[in-house]
Amino acid sequence: MRLHRIDYLWISAQALLFIVYLLPVDLGIKALNFPQWPTLMIMLLGAAECLWALIQLGKFLSPFPKPKENAPLITGGIFGLVRHPIYSGIFLFAAAWAFYSANLYRLLIALAILLFFYNKSRYEEQNLKAYFSDYAAYAERVGRFFPKLKSFGTKP
């Protein structure tokens, strides 16, 4: 798919959010007092989720919200659990790091990252639906950032 100015804007905004997250800002509020081992586990989960997705995408990985030419629709592995595992992995890592470091500023930016990824994924999914005829059915079965929970009493 051909890239447009909006695609470069998405990437630029994402880079800016990551930079803002890494700024050494402390709001002076230490109300985020959580045990550190669970947050470390969530950080590892987020990192593993990203790594698994990166390995699965391989040469078809792109920072742009459009599929590469001749890319297949990957629906197995981590993509069988969530449609955007890199986005959810980054969010899990960023939110857990905010709790680990007891930094309210980073937590607020992590929430902004989640909101940003939600909007970017909406745009990305328009492109994926245009490129892959079976993407809409895949999106019905698989959660955007987190696995869909099956309703009790419903048949598969």
What's the chain look like in SS3? CCCCHHHHHHHHHHHHHHHHHHCCCCCCCCCCCCCHHHHHHHHHHHHHHHHHHHHHHHHHCCCCCCCCCCCCCCCCHHHHCECCHHHHHHHHHHHHHHHHCCCHHHHHHHHHHHHHHHHHHHHHHHHHHHHCCCHHHHHHHCECCCCCCCCCCCCC
For residue 14, tell me if it sits in a domain.
Answer: no
Taking all residues of the chain, what is their mean pLDDT, rounded to a whole number? 93
For residue 5, tell me if it sits in a domain.
Answer: no
Q: How confident is the model at residue 149 (pLDDT cuts 50, 70, 90)?
A: confident
Q: How confident is the model at residue 26 (pLDDT cuts 50, 70, 90)?
A: confident
Range of the domain at 97: 34-60+73-143
pLDDT at 48 over 80: yes
For residue 106, tell me if it sits in a domain.
Answer: yes
For residue 44, tell me if it sits in a domain.
Answer: yes
For residue 101, tell me if it sits in a domain.
Answer: yes
For residue 149, tell me if it sits in a domain.
Answer: no
Number of domains in the chain: 1
For residue 17, tell me if it sits in a domain.
Answer: no
pLDDT at 87 over 80: yes
